[in-house]
Structure 1
Amino acid sequence: MFSLSGLESGIVLERISSSVEVVAGLLAIAITVVAIVVELAANRYTPRITQLFLSESINRVVLGFFVLTTVVCLWLSAVPEKSLGYPRGALLLAMGMVTACLFALLPYFAFLFRFLAPRNIIARIRAQALDAAPRSRETAIEAVAELEDIARRARQQRDRGIAMAAVEALDEVMKDSLEITKDLPAAWFALDRELLRDPDFVALAPASRREIEEQGLWFETKIFRQYLSLFEESLGVDRDLGNLIALNTREVSGSHRAHKPALSDLCIKFFNSYLRCAIRKGEMRSAYYVLHQYRGMAEDLLRDGNAEGARRIAQHMRYYGHFAFETGQSFLLEVVANDLAVLVECAAESAVDEVDALVREFLEVDRESRLREGEEESRLRGVRRAQVKLATFFMERGELGRARQIWQDMKVERLERLRAVREELESDQPEAYWEFTDRGSNFAYLSPARRAHLPEFFSWFEVH
């Protein structure tokens, strides 16, 4: 302070002029960096990043302070020398503001890069969707569309982690919105003219519109439509993304089933749509995993006492197994047979009334009037193997009547195929499949306790 006391006004103005050049350069650097990184992020993920950037108060404060410092220094340097009444104060003000800008520059850049990190952008859009949902349906819909857009762009750029993070955010928006909106007035759930202009609703048949409105599930339907679009695009390209969508569909079905039972019906419809998309595109691996989650949803319904819903899923699984077989993807028929066998076991252990109905659905899988012979021998043998495994399950429980029901269905089977099934099940197979798969189970495995019932079961065929 004492060293500044002798400064003349001319020297003060020269130093303030130098400060103007410094702070103008800082402002140019800051604006250039911000413009480049924001534009790159917006082009890569979503244009909404620009809006998020402008709405963030820290960005406005920091850049505004840089501009203010430049303007103050500019005006101070333009003051005539004789009119500068407090040269030391003017210099201290200018240097203080310039110093603050210099100290703030690097921390601000660090904040900027953290702000533009894709996962942070996803979290902000998710938060905005949930915050806006009760007040503005349009804002919530825009946020959902932006999350789907981020997932799509990330998948196209092979950024699997970001794509899966966006799908998870959609899942969280759906689950949290079910809690947020359950006490909202009926007007929020109405499919009015404005909502019907949305691309996901504009082509809906009147009956479908009424059903969605009566169930109060337009927002969930909107998110599921994004799921279906992403699932179809992921087929053959990013199976993990499709697997995550199937998993999330199962989980959301169970998370709010108590106060929104119609949600399970909606999940069933979209599971069926996933299966049809996968089978049509010949993506057996994706269909294989979707069936696993679909069966898991049926098991969840059984545990919740909704045996009728589980039986409906069994019917759909059988249908898509036949559909896959007819399109040359016979492996999926074997998968359906094994999944239905597991579902029947779960029903029996849960002591529900639908066990016999599920057994009948299970036995429909192998109706040979619908199947081709010869080239599909190994797959038909896989279906019979699943039936024998289920029969041994009932025999172990002492339910010989149901085991006999399976035998009745199999007794017309060719002896060669029965012998092959018996040899396969009597062999020492590992419980876990010998390759890494999402399921990890080996369809040919039979526990030693149940294997002990094979001789008795096959004695009914007089096969030796």
Structure 2
Amino acid sequence: MRPGMRQIDRETYRTFALQAAVLAWAALVVFWTFYALDFYLMPGPEGRAPAGPLSRYFAFDPSTDSVSTLVGVNTAVFGLVITVVSIIVQLSAERYTGVARMFLRDRINIYVAAYYVVTGVASVWLSAASHSDYVPRLTLLVMLSMTMGGLVITMPYFGYVFWFLAPQNLIRHIREDAIKTADNGAREQDREDCYKAQAQSLFALEELTDIANNSISGKDKIIASAAVDALKDLAIEYLKVKPHASEVWFSIGPEIRQNPDFVAMDSESLADLEARRTWVEWKVMRQYLSIYNEALNSMRDINYVIAIDTRYIGEAAVRANDSELLDLVFRFMNSYMRSTLNARDVRTAYNVLNQYRKLAESMLAEGNPKAALEAVKHMKYYGLLSFDMELSFVTETVAYDLSSIAQLANELASPAEQAILDEFLELDRPPFVRGNDKALLGVRKAQVKLAAHYLSTGQEARARSIAYDMRDEPEDRLRKIRWQLENVENKDFWEIIDRGRNFEYMPPARRQQLATFFNWLDERDTLAARRSN
């Protein structure tokens, strides 16, 4: 359990105990205040009054049936608690699977139920222990205290049950149980116990997926986002366990093979998962893909959260030097893009590409140029695909994102800089360009922005390579590109957008370089000659 989660649990237990203590003391103060007033203001017959209110109270009369009433009180309270809690748990179980199992494993729930059972049984024994000539006063006092305890914890316990069954807390419990199970199972050497832990881990992952999908159907964005984040937390925590895992843990056990997400896979694919040691991560992101498709065109914010969390997993894979997981992250990011383009959801594609760009930039920052170049190639592919599908804005988005990646590669002096630039300049090449002037215009503007960066940093050769690539552009298109870029002076778009920044904005220092760049294009013969030399 993470430190933050331990702190939440400690606070919850402390609150529960404090509420019960306040109610107990309030009940004692009220009772003894009025009992003392009765004793002193309305004393009993002369000569028979005890020395004080305590002596009088503890002078139990065995002839009364007050002892036997404790049995009825404890039984009634326990019955009330069981009835209310059972109804609440059942209602939650209809929406979220595994609730009853988690509820019955919780320490507070076990302790409270045990407390009521012990108090009820002990009070039954006390009722048979009182005789006309003997009252076990100490035992009776203890049972009175326990009965009072059972009464005063009723309301705090109901509050705890509602807290426990809150969706966010259920998600937290599922995630913590899954991490703990994976940790113990991964270190297990016994094959049977290891396979049992695999099954429990799979069940937890699917529980979180069910919560997310049900929340999407119910338009409950907060709970769906919490479930998606829990899957990410689980995957990242698992990376800390993975280096210490046994060989048995990475084998595909019988429970995995029978799982719906694995049963349709051929033997070669299953063998690949074993060899790459990625069945847990594959399952997590397979759940992401399921949730992603469920949310597509209905709850886009969840698509964004999934893309963000997948990027976090990719960044964690780089830090852990797990190339197999990073390759898996790319494959699922590509699957998100494919599903999004098939649904023609331009807005979601725009936001997923933003996370893809950030992932590539983190690869560059972490010193993994090979992975960054791989991401660039994938992004270029989907830019070309969207061009063919006449989703021109997606192609423009890819162009501006590749421009940003190429600029960062230049600033970091990455070994992949030239290869990234070459891929970027391929985005507008035949046979992919088929007269979609709007998309091509956006691609060229992104390339001009990168050239302006090169010029502002004194890298004329790189800027000229972009100018040479644009040497065959029509004059009217070049004038349009220049006019649009020179007239964007505000970095903020005039509408609320998710990225916040206007694609076409350039700082003044770079905007001043546009004149130089377009002057080169006006001298195309000279440009070609320089290129040939």
TM normalised by structure 2 equals: 0.80
Q: How far off its partner does 1:442 sit? A: 0.8
User: 1:397 and 1:93, CA in 2 relative to 1: closer, same or farther beyond 3 A?
Assistant: closer
Name the stretch that deviates more: 64-73 or 228-237.
64-73
Q: How does 1:28-39 map to 2 (within 5 A)?
A: 28-39=79-90
Match in the other structure for 2:504: 444
1:110 aligned residue = 159
Aligned to 1:351: 413
User: 1:30 deviation in Å?
Assistant: 0.7
Tell me if 1:47 matches 2:97.
yes
1:430 is matched with which residue: 490, 502, 512?
490
Matches within 5 A, 1:350-429: 350-373=412-435, 376-429=436-489
What do residues 262-312 of structure 1 show as CA deviations (whole Å, max 9, x unaligned)? Answer: 221111111101111111112111111111111111112222332222222
- Equivalence for 1:456: 516
1:59 matched to 2:112? The reply is no
Q: Find the aligned partners of 1:90 and 1:425 in 2 and give their Cα distance.
A: 89
The answer to whether structure 1 residue 273 and structure 2 residue 335 are counterparts is: yes
Q: CA deviation at 1:177?
A: 1.0
**1-side partners of 2:383 and 2:58: how far apart?**
91
Aligned positions, number: 457
Of 204, 207, 216, which aligns to 2:265?
A: 204
SS of equivalent residue, structure 2 residue 504: coil
1:127 correspondence with 2:176: yes
Q: 1:451 to 1:23 in 2, by over 3 A?
A: same
Partner of 1:149: 210
| Amino acid in structure 2 at the alignment position of 1:61 | Y
RMSD: 2.4
Counterpart-to-counterpart distance in 1, 2:265 and 2:122:
60
Contact 2:392–2:438 (8 Å) recurs in 1: no
State how far apart, in whole Å, the 2-side matches of 1:381 and 1:97 are.
80
CA distance in 2, matches of 1:250, 1:26: 51
Q: Which amino acid aligns with 1:3?
A: R
Quick one: which of 324, 328, 342 aligns to 1:262? 324
1:48-98 superposed Cα distances (whole Å, 9 cap, x missing partner):
111111112322232233234344445655x59868843756754553332
Preserved CA contact (<8 Å) 1:4 1:88: no
Give 1:179's aligned residue: 240
Say which SS state the counterpart of residue 502 (structure 2) adopts.
Answer: coil
C-alpha displacement of 1:421: 0.6
Match of 1:393, SS state, is helix
- Structure 2 vs 1, CA of residues 103 and 406 (structure 1 numbering), >3 Å: closer, same or farther? same
1:208–1:22 CA distance, 2 compared to 1 (3 A): same
Structure 2: unaligned runs, 5 residues or longer? 1-53, 186-196, 524-533
Distance in 1 (alpha carbons) for counterparts of 2:446 and 2:462: 14
Deviation (angstroms), 1:317: 0.8
Identity among equivalent positions (%) equals 38
Q: Give, as a single letter, the amino acid of the residue that structure 1 aligns with 2:437.
A: E
Per the alignment, residue 251 of structure 1 pairs with 312
CA distance in 1, matches of 2:378, 2:60: 89
Identify unmatched segments of 5+ residues in structure 1: none
Q: Which has the larger radius of gyration?
A: 2
* Distance change (3 Å), C-alpha of 1:10 and 1:300: same
Structure-1 separation of matches of 2:507 and 2:496: 21
Counterpart residue identity of residue 66, structure 1: Y
2:153 is aligned with what amino acid?
Answer: A
1:231, 1:241 within 8 Å by CA — same for their partners in 2?
yes
Paired letter, 1:423: W
* Equivalent residue, structure 2, for 1:27: 78
Instruction: Assess if the C-alpha contact under 8 Å between 1:239 and 1:286 holds in 2.
Output: yes
Q: 2:375 maps to what in 1?
A: 313
| 8 Å Cα contact 1:15-1:91 kept in structure 2 | no
CA contact (8 A) 1:292 1:339 kept: yes
Displacement of 1:448: 1.5
| SS of the residue 2:431 aligns to | helix
- Structure 1 pair 340/76, CA: closer, same or farther in 2 (3 Å)? same
Q: What letter corresponds to residue 462 of structure 1 in structure 2?
A: D
Q: Do the aligned partners of residues 61 and 301 (structure 1) sit closer, same or farther apart at CA in structure 2, a change above 3 Å counting?
A: closer
User: Which residue number in structure 2 is paired with residue 169 of structure 1?
Assistant: 230
Cα distance in structure 2, aligned partners of 1:95 and 1:355: 79
d(CA) in 2 for partners of 1:4 and 1:256? 70
Instruction: Please state whether the residue corresponding to 1:259 is helix, strand or coil.
Output: coil
Displacement after TM superposition at 1:427 (Å):
0.8
**How far apart in 1 are the matches of 2:136 and 2:437?**
98
User: CA distance change for structure 1 residues 89 and 458 in 2, over 3 Å: closer, same or farther?
Assistant: closer
- Alpha-carbon distance, 1:331 to partner: 0.5
Q: Secondary structure at the match of 1:211?
A: helix
Aligned mate of 1:101, from 143, 146, 150: 150
- Deviation per CA, 1:160-204, whole angstroms, max 9, x where unpaired? 222212222211111111111211222211124442222222222
Q: Note closer, same or farther for the CA distance 1:441–1:100 as it changes in structure 2 (3 Å cut).
A: same
In structure 1, distance between residues paired with 2:152 and 2:456: 76
Which moved further from structure 2: 177-186 or 393-402?
A: 393-402
Check whether the contact 1:8–1:87 (CA below 8 A) recurs between aligned residues. no
TM-score, structure 1 length as denominator? 0.91
Residues 337/223 of structure 1: CA separation in 2 closer, same or farther (3 Å cut): same
CA contact (8 A) 1:246 1:293 kept: yes
CA distance in 2, matches of 1:126, 1:115: 14
Moved more, 79-88 or 220-229: 79-88
Structure 1 match to 2:301 = 240
Question: 1:18 aligns to what SS in structure 2?
Answer: helix
User: Which residue does the alignment assign to 1:3?
Assistant: 56
Q: 1:207 to 1:404 in 2, by over 3 A?
A: farther
Please say if residues 167 and 245 of structure 1, whose CA atoms lie closer than 8 Å, have aligned partners that are also in contact.
Answer: yes
How many angstroms apart in 2 are the aligned matches of 1:449 and 1:259?
A: 39
